[in-house]
Copies of this chain bind each other. A is one copy, B any other.
Amino acid sequence: MNSKKKVSIAVIRRLPRYYRYLSDLLKMDITRISSKELSARMGITASQIRQDLNCFGGFGQQGYGYNVEYLYNEIGKILGVDKKFNTIIIGAGNMGQALANYGNFEKRGYHLVGIFDVNPKIIGKKIKNIEIMHIDKIEEFLKENKVDIAILTVPYEHTPEVADRVARLGIKGLWNFSPMDLKLPYDVVIENVHLSDSLMVLGYRLKEKFGRVEDKTQNE
């Protein structure tokens, strides 16, 4: 099995979910699962699952299903859970601070090495023992430190300009929390987080299940 084989990004996007579901199966001592059963749990068609897993050589055998532990470990390796990514946060407002304190990230190998902002009131304060620096120190910081990822939690209107600035400085990965599909003319990997996608699904399910919603125009 060669996990270095090129896998399409659409498949990769589904891997963290497979990884979580397989982790749950392991906790339940389930050692083997068919694509049909996995399909029922995850709400992805069985043929999509087979197609996804075939991208790295296919881990299943017709009629026998998948070995849960093996698949879990292989997906983990593909996702790089054994790697370390040096990460900075730009924008130490509420979202930035919340992410800095999110324990799950450090556990998955995302190592916070710097926090930047422009607000003089918070420059010099510490979050998780890291001093918040002024964004104007970032050139110097990036010369002296190897950084893989910048988490962008700056106000919406400043996001493109800040993204551009750090991309020019050689940052190769951006995790963007402004509700926009940020794109840059550089060779940079960008993940845009769309929090409202998940909220819209919640709203839909609520409406379908309980029908307790009003039209927007009522009571306003």
Check if A94 sits within 8 Å of B98, measured CB to CB: yes
Given A16-B194, A84-B218, A210-B172: A200 in contact with B79 (beta carbons within 8 A): yes
Task: List chain B residues, Cβ under 8 A from A198.
Answer: 16, 175, 191, 193
CB of A9 within 8 Å of the partner chain: yes
Q: How many copies does the complex hold?
A: 2
Closest to A85 in B: B203
A44 at the interface (CB under 8 A from B): yes
CB pair A179–B215 under 8 Å, yes or no, is no
Residues on B with beta carbons closer than 8 Å to the beta carbon of A206: 85, 148-149, 172-173, 189
Report the Cα distance A141→B202, complex, angstroms. Answer: 22
Residues of A within 8 A of B (CB): 6, 8-10, 12-13, 15-17, 19-20, 24, 42-45, 48, 51, 78-85, 93-95, 97-99, 101-105, 108-110, 146, 148-149, 153, 156, 172-175, 179, 181, 187, 189, 191, 193-210, 212-216, 218-220
List, sorted by A's number, 25 A–B pairs whose CB atoms are closer than 8 Å: A9-B201, A9-B205, A12-B201, A15-B204, A16-B194, A17-B197, A19-B200, A24-B181, A79-B201, A79-B203, A80-B207, A84-B213, A84-B218, A94-B94, A95-B98, A98-B98, A102-B179, A104-B179, A108-B196, A108-B200, A109-B216, A148-B213, A172-B212, A174-B202, A175-B198
